[in-house]
Amino acid sequence: MRVKIHHEGNEILLVMLGIMAAVCVPMWLWVTPVSWPIAVSVVLGIIFLLTLNFFRSPRRKFEGDINNVVVASADGKVVALEEVFEDEFLHCRCIQLSVFMSIFNVHANWFPVNGVVEAVAHNKGRYQAAYLPKSSTENERSAVVIRTPDGNRVLVRQIAGAVARRIVTYAEKGTEANIEDHLGFIKFGSRVDLYLPINTDINVKIGDCTVGGITPVGRLNPPT
């Protein structure tokens, strides 16, 4: 599994390096005792490494049976799995499967199914804790609807959290969706909801941990 730094982090990391240099170099030149420059350098170094870890962007390849599979869109923990009525795009009863990402998870998001992007939308909203159920409809969010080759429609919703302040969505209407490709990125703790057809076979339960682009969370059946 190859890991690189996501381009969404380039600007932030460069700014952090500049701040570290501006703070640490003068301290090493003029501040005594030396324990102060050491302490400040260590603290700033740890913060930089944590940020670097946040923006890691592994390239992943699903190795299982790709036929009608639904893979996790995000790294994290399953916090919701229930039947709901999705009335914004699908207008039908669905299975909602929600994965919460902590600041320690990879924050790139993957397409959950292969198909064609049918719709993309962004809604402004609040910044409540992303693990709360009402965050799905009240927080800032982006939605992507994908139609699979068999005619199933799957909704992916990227949701901002209490810390997240920017949702980036790469999906564009009419383009191809592939489970090996990034759908988008969310900067700092957040959540991704999948809305799946009601007859989907689900392979996970609440509390399970998922790996985006790898974990098969379900398998679609022919549309009814």
In the chain, % of residues over pLDDT 90: 48
Give mean pLDDT, residues 20-29. 88
pLDDT averaged over every residue in the chain? 86
pLDDT band at 3 (very low <50, low <70, confident <90, very high): low
Whether residue 20 is predicted with pLDDT greater than 80 in this model: the reply is yes
Sign of the C-alpha dihedral computed for residues 190, 74, 220 and 176 taken in this order: positive
- Single out the residue of 154, 151, 141 nearest to residue 218, CA to CA: 154
In the chain the first and final C-alpha atoms are separated, in Å, by 38
Whether residue 47 is predicted with pLDDT greater than 90 in this model: the reply is no
Q: Which is higher by pLDDT, 124 or 120? A: 120
Q: How many helices (H) and strands (E) does the chain have?
A: 3, 16
How is residue 179 written in tokens? 């489970």
Give mean pLDDT, residues 123-147. 67
The DSSP bridge pattern shows strands 153-160 and 190-197 to be antiparallel
pLDDT band at 133 (very low <50, low <70, confident <90, very high): low
Q: Residues for the chain: how many in total?
A: 224
H or E element in which residue 93 lies: strand 92-101
Alpha carbons 207 and 224: distance in angstroms, whole number: 30
pLDDT band at 200 (very low <50, low <70, confident <90, very high): very high
In this structure, of 25-29, 112-116, 161-165, 202-206, the range with the lowest mean pLDDT score is 161-165
Q: What is the pTM of this model?
A: 0.80
- Strand-by-strand arrangement of the 92-101 sheet: 176-177, 115-123, 141-147, 153-160, 190-197, 92-101, 76-86, 209-210
pLDDT band at 129 (very low <50, low <70, confident <90, very high): low
The whole-number pLDDT of residue 165 equals: 56
Identify whether 33 is preceded by a cis peptide bond (ω within 30 of 0): yes
The whole-number pLDDT of residue 52 equals: 74
Sign of the C-alpha dihedral computed for residues 220, 209, 73 and 154 taken in this order: positive
* DSSP code string of 120-144: EEEE--B---TTSTTHHHHB-EEEE
Whether residue 91 is predicted with pLDDT greater than 90 in this model: the reply is yes
In this structure, of 32-36, 64-68, 209-213, the range with the lowest mean pLDDT score is 32-36
Alpha carbons 218 and 220: distance in angstroms, whole number: 7
The whole-number pLDDT of residue 106 equals: 82
190 tagged catalytic: yes
Give mean pLDDT, residues 109-122. 95
Rg (CA), the chain: 20
The whole-number pLDDT of residue 27 equals: 87
